[in-house]
């Protein structure tokens, strides 16, 4: 029986943000961790509350961070070593050391505390050298200094193992470091996905190939800058060729839309693409959680990824969902896809993007623009996809082989079992050699132990964006989502890398004050308030103190609560009411494409695509469509009146016929009648279509574009996820809500 192993995982500190923190590539190691392994990571929300409420704990960490900075400044180090320590920010270094665990687990780029044993896992060689070299740079500068710096980390006795699932990466590390001691620490690992909680369609349940569906997603962290590196422009050019060739199908894109000028620079026909949005293209620019992306993959026949970099998780998830991956031959692709066996591999990218570095013979990627290569890739995609569509039996054979390959090779249980087994053995050997006894002598106090992620919190951090994602922007503040936390800032402050640390506002004088919460509800709409961060923080502490003091006296407590409600409703008592800043509140969202907003005693409706609301702009007629009223009902009536009678559900003689546009979109069929689109459940099918234009039936969703209706369905599925345990599937819950039976 193995001894218990406690592993520290310092991934959600600020220096890990560019390295994608809790990246989905490693989720299986957490979801399928063996019983003898316990994992510890900081919960930034808990850390924030601890530092906010416990001045003594805060001072202790700050003093240690200042000493760490002083110690580094005194050392006579090379330029590279000093830059490395500056990037490994002193508060992050202290928090890494303070995290409970027998050893540390790092990924992508090594930033160990070197106070206890550690293991390291990586996918790309270039990323290991971050921040001195990055993916796409194509070269290594200060070669000898870098080699000595990283050799000192990996040859250190506390480094127990270096893992990768990409053979080329291990080979590059061996070439670059040229150290026999390190060679003995290199291990080839498996990779895999956590068991999918969603129901995956069997091959025969996949939508018909007669109208194939194609999906493009711009990386796990859905960073907008990855659009071109991931090959989004090639996908758009391919789609024009497909449609021009008379092919029918649907292209779904989950990514932010680049500027028109950028698209044109990459050879995209922008006017044609915009004309197809709502017809053959559905372009969703909102952030989707991991399970939502997987749901889209189950509906897709092809997953398009003509990328200049490897995106392992996307490929594995697509193959597991039965979507044929169409990928480039970049370094690492061969670990996942074999051409014509379980996917389509486009050739020419590796030769252009991955030249050997002259000084090291290591293969490095170099991102640039190659118009000839782009044209070659579009030509390959078009010819090879069309060949499959012309041979449905060949497509379904490839589909079944992809499913089988994913089931056999991408098992998260096997990935976790193999990895933690090797790590446990390495740690046992290190204990026998007394390495662990030499480290960890400076373990900090345990006052922060309550601030770690609990067992039910891993899903929250892995489902959340691994890099800051802007969720809300108002006149008074912004809300970001990162690593399982909602982070509110007031105004529009400059946010630097280290400012994302829960300790930054106490350690760094110019860091903006922030508030961490696990959900938007916990922020209580404070991003709509005109109060400054520090003033609001004092007020909240006063309210908490009064609440705690009056809790034993129910009558006084209820009276104080009523006073507080009046205060909040009216923006404060008369003598304290803000006079210079208006009150703005988002009242309704997504009403036939409009958001309804309250400004003081007036209500406004503007189109969702119009962006941030400004009262002055609304009164000056600056929005393309804006309705005003003294109540929500007034505005709703104005919106309803704006829809022409010809779009109503009553079919009159000569009315346009109903045309089926999409079948089986998350169990809904979408039809078009005139200029309007309607969605109804598949199980209602013909009866719903026959009643659609009569008063006997109202559709579940409707809108003026296909994209709007599909977005409504996705939003409803997300909003209803909390009800799933009581219903057979999410669409049951949505339909019950529509009929008022829940």
Find the CATH number of the domain harbouring 147.
Answer: 3.40.50
Mean pLDDT score, 269-292: 86
| 329 in any annotated domain | yes
CA distance 381 to 383: 6
Domain coverage including residue 695: 649-739
CA distance 94 to 97: 5
CA distance 558 to 564: 10
CA distance 671 to 644: 18
674 or 530, which is more confident: 674
* Rounded alpha-carbon distances, angstroms, from residue 384 to 340, 422, 741: 10, 42, 49
- 181 in the same domain as 73: yes
Question: Which of these, 655, 236, 237, 226, lies nearest to 465 by C-alpha position?
Answer: 226
**Please, is 383 exposed, middle or buried when counting C-beta atoms within 10 Å of its C-beta (0-12, 13-18, 19+)?**
exposed
* Rounded alpha-carbon distances, angstroms, from residue 20 to 16, 223, 482: 7, 11, 10
- 358 in the same domain as 278: yes
Report residue 636: phi and psi, to 5°: -60, -40
What CA dihedral angle connects 82, 85, 86 and 90, to 10 degrees? -140
592 or 299, which is more confident: 299
Mean pLDDT score, 704-730: 56
pLDDT band at 205 (very low <50, low <70, confident <90, very high): low
Domain with residue 289: its CATH number is: 3.40.50.2000
Mean pLDDT score, 368-388: 93
CA distance 545 to 565: 16
CA distance 58 to 123: 36
| 671 in any annotated domain | yes
Identify the residue whose tokens are 């070439």.
Answer: 175
Identify the residue whose tokens are 């309804």.
Answer: 596
650 or 595, which is more confident: 595
| 304 in any annotated domain | yes
Task: Give yes or no for a contact between 174 and 147, defined as CB atoms under 8 angstroms apart.
Answer: no
- Is residue 17 scored above 70 in pLDDT? yes
- 380 in the same domain as 435: no
Cis peptide bond upstream of 581, omega within 30? no
Report residue 490: phi and psi, to 5°: -90, 145
Mean pLDDT score across all residues of the chain: 80
Report residue 38: phi and psi, to 5°: -120, 135
pLDDT band at 644 (very low <50, low <70, confident <90, very high): very low
pLDDT in tens, 54-63: 988 999 999 9
Identify the residue whose tokens are 């709409």.
Answer: 525
pLDDT band at 272 (very low <50, low <70, confident <90, very high): very high
Task: Give yes or no for a contact between 325 and 305, defined as CB atoms under 8 angstroms apart.
Answer: yes
* Rounded alpha-carbon distances, angstroms, from residue 151 to 174, 180, 188, 375: 11, 11, 19, 42
- 342 in the same domain as 224: yes
- 439 in the same domain as 398: no
Tokens of 59: 């001072």
Task: Give yes or no for a contact between 668 and 701, defined as CB atoms under 8 angstroms apart.
Answer: yes
- Is residue 521 scored above 80 in pLDDT? yes
pLDDT in tens, 602-629: 788 888 767 778 888 888 777 878 888 8
- 443 in the same domain as 382: no
Strand 250-254 to strand 159-164: parallel, antiparallel, or no bridges (unpaired)?
unpaired
Question: Which of these, 88, 98, 119, lies nearest to 187 by C-alpha position?
Answer: 119
Report CA 260 to chain centroid distance, whole Å: 24
N-to-C CA span, the chain: 50
CA distance 73 to 85: 10
- Is residue 44 scored above 50 in pLDDT? yes
CA distance 616 to 597: 13
- 82 in the same domain as 150: yes
What pTM, to 2 d.p., does this model score?
A: 0.71
What's residue 114's pLDDT?
Answer: 93
Concatenate the DSSP letters of all residues of 554-574 into one string.
HHHHHHHHHHHHHHHHTTS-T
Tokens of 582: 């208006």
Report residue 360: phi and psi, to 5°: -125, -15
- 386 in the same domain as 443: no
| 556 in any annotated domain | no
| 71 in any annotated domain | yes
CB atoms within 10 A of CB 360: 19
| Three state DSSP letters for 416-437 | HHHHHHHHHHHHHHHHHCCHHH
What's residue 624's pLDDT?
Answer: 77
Concatenate the DSSP letters of all residues of 443-469 into one string.
---STTGGGBPPGGGHHHHHHS-SS-E
Question: Which of these, 572, 570, 574, 600, lies nearest to 585 by C-alpha position?
Answer: 600
In this predicted structure, which of 188-202, 396-410, 573-587 has the lowest mean pLDDT?
A: 573-587
Percentage of the residues of the chain whose pLDDT score is greater than 90: 39
189 or 2, which is more confident: 189
| 536 in any annotated domain | no
- 664 in the same domain as 606: no
Strand 477-482 to strand 469-473: parallel, antiparallel, or no bridges (unpaired)?
antiparallel
Mean pLDDT score, 408-414: 94
- 348 in the same domain as 420: no
- Helix or strand run (H / E) with residue 28: helix 27-31
Q: Choose one of 347, 379, 409: the last residue of a domain.
A: 409
pLDDT band at 688 (very low <50, low <70, confident <90, very high): low
CB half-sphere exposure, 709, CA atoms < 13 A: 27
Total domains, the chain: 4
Q: Choose one of 608, 641, 674: the last residue of a domain.
A: 641
CA distance 16 to 19: 5
Question: Which of these, 210, 158, 199, lies nearest to 8 by C-alpha position?
Answer: 158
Buried b (16+ CB within 10 A) or exposed e, 507-543: beeebbbbbbbbeeeebeebbbbbbebeebbeeeeee
Task: Give yes or no for a contact between 216 and 254, defined as CB atoms under 8 angstroms apart.
Answer: yes
- Helix or strand run (H / E) with residue 78: none
pLDDT band at 547 (very low <50, low <70, confident <90, very high): low
Report residue 661: phi and psi, to 5°: -100, -50
| 476 in any annotated domain | no
Q: Which residues contact 316 (CB under 8 A, 6 or more apart)?
A: 191, 192, 193, 336, 406, 410
pLDDT in tens, 481-518: 998 999 998 878 888 888 999 999 999 888 888 999 99
- 141 in the same domain as 261: no
Look at the chain and count its residues: 742
Report CA 53 to chain centroid distance, whole Å: 30
In this predicted structure, which of 286-300, 375-389, 590-604, 727-741 has the lowest mean pLDDT?
A: 727-741
What's residue 581's pLDDT?
Answer: 39
What's residue 468's pLDDT?
Answer: 87
Mean pLDDT score, 144-154: 91
Mean pLDDT score, 138-154: 83
pLDDT band at 108 (very low <50, low <70, confident <90, very high): very high
Q: Choose one of 462, 481, 498: the last residue of a domain.
A: 462
- Is residue 225 scored above 80 in pLDDT? no
Task: Give yes or no for a contact between 676 and 702, defined as CB atoms under 8 angstroms apart.
Answer: yes
- 224 in the same domain as 373: yes
- Is residue 646 scored above 50 in pLDDT? no
Task: Give yes or no for a contact between 213 and 300, defined as CB atoms under 8 angstroms apart.
Answer: yes
What's residue 372's pLDDT?
Answer: 92
In this predicted structure, which of 241-250, 596-605, 718-727 has the lowest mean pLDDT?
A: 718-727
443 or 282, which is more confident: 282
Task: Give yes or no for a contact between 567 and 542, defined as CB atoms under 8 angstroms apart.
Answer: no
Percentage of the residues of the chain whose pLDDT score is greater than 70: 74
What's residue 336's pLDDT?
Answer: 95
| 266 in any annotated domain | yes
pLDDT in tens, 454-489: 877 898 898 888 888 888 887 778 899 998 999 998
In this predicted structure, which of 187-191, 264-268, 367-371 has the lowest mean pLDDT?
A: 367-371
Tokens of 302: 């092809």
- Is residue 582 scored above 80 in pLDDT? no
What's residue 621's pLDDT?
Answer: 78
């Amino acid at each position: 029986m193995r001894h218990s192993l406690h592993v520290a995982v310092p991934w959600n500190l600020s220096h890990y943000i560019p390295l994608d923190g809790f990246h989905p590539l490693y989720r299986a190691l957490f979801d399928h961790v063996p019983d003898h392994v316990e994992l510890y990571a900081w919960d930034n929300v808990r850390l924030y509350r601890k530092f906010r409420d416990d001045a003594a704990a805060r001072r202790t960490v700050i003093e240690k961070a200042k000493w760490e900075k002083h110690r580094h400044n005194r050392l006579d180090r090379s330029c590279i070593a000093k830059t490395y320590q500056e990037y490994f920010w002193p508060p992050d270094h202290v928090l890494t050391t303070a995290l409970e665990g027998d050893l540390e687990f790092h990924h992508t780029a090594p930033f160990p505390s070197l106070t206890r044993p550690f293991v390291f896992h990586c996918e790309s060689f270039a990323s290991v050298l971050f921040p001195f070299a990055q993916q796409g740079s194509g070269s290594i500068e200060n070669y000898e200094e870098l080699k000595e710096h990283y050799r000192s980390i990996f040859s250190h006795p506390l480094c127990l193992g270096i893992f990768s699932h990409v053979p080329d990466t291990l080979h590059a590390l061996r070439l670059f470091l040229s150290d026999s001691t390190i060679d003995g620490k290199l291990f080839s690992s498996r990779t895999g996905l956590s068991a999918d909680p969603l129901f995956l369609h069997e091959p025969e349940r996949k939508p018909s190939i007669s109208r194939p569906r194609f999906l493009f997603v711009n990386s796990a962290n859905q960073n907008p800058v990855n659009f071109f590196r991931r090959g989004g422009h090639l996908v758009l050019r391919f789609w024009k060729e497909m449609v021009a060739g008379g092919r029918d199908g649907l292209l779904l894109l989950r990514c932010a839309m680049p500027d028109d000028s950028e698209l044109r620079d990459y050879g995209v026909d922008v006017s044609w693409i915009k004309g197809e949005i709502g017809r053959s293209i559905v372009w969703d620019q909102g952030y989707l959680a991991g399970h939502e992306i997987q749901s889209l993959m189950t509906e897709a026949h092809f997953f398009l990824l003509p990328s200049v970099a490897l995106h392992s998780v996307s490929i594995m998830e697509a193959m597991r969902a039965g979507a044929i991956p169409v990928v480039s031959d970049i370094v690492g692709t061969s670990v996942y896809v074999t051409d014509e066996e379980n996917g389509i591999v486009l050739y020419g990218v590796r030769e252009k993007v991955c030249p050997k570095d002259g000084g090291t013979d290591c293969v490095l990627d170099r991102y640039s623009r190659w118009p000839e290569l782009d044209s070659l890739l579009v030509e390959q995609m078009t010819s090879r996809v069309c060949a499959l569509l012309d041979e449905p039996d060949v497509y379904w054979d490839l589909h079944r082989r992809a499913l089988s390959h994913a089931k056999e090779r991408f098992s998260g249980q096997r990935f976790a079992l193999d990895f933690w087994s090797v790590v446990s053995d390495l740690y046992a050997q290190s204990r026998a050699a007394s390495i662990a006894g030499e480290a960890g002598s400076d373990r900090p106090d345990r006052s922060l132990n309550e601030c770690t992620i609990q067992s039910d919190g891993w899903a929250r951090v892995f489902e959340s964006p691994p890099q800051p994602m802007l969720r809300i922007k108002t006149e008074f503040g912004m809300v970001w989502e990162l690593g399982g936390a909602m982070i509110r800032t007031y105004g529009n402050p400059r946010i630097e890398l280290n400012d994302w640390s829960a300790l930054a506002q106490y350690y760094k004088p110019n860091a903006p004050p922030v508030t961490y919460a696990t959900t938007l509800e916990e922020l209580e709409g404070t991003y709509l308030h005109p109060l400054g961060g520090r003033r609001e923080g004092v007020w909240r502490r006063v309210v908490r103190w009064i609440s705690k003091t009056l809790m034993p006296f129910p009558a006084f407590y209820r009276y104080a609560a009523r006073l507080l409600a009046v205060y909040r409703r009216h923006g404060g008592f008369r003598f304290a009411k803000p006079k210079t800043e208006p009150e703005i509140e988002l009242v309704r969202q997504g009403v036939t494409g409009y958001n309804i907003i309250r400004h003081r005693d007036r209500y406004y409706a503007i189109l969702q695509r119009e962006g941030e609301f400004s009262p002055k702009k609304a009164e000056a007629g600056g929005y393309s469509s804006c309705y005003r009223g003294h109540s929500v009902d007034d505005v709703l009536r104005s919106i309803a009146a704006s829809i022409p009678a010809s779009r109503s559900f009553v079919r009159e003689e000569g009315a346009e016929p109903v045309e089926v546009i999409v079948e089986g979109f998350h169990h809904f069929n979408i039809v078009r009648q005139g200029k309007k689109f309607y969605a109804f459940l598949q199980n209602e099918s013909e009866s719903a279509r026959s009643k659609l234009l009569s008063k006997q039936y109202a559709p579940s969703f409707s809108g003026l574009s296909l994209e709007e209706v599909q977005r409504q369905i996705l939003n409803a599925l997300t909003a209803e996820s909390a009800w799933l345990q009581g219903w057979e599937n999410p669409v049951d819950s949505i339909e019950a809500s529509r009929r008022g039976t829940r």
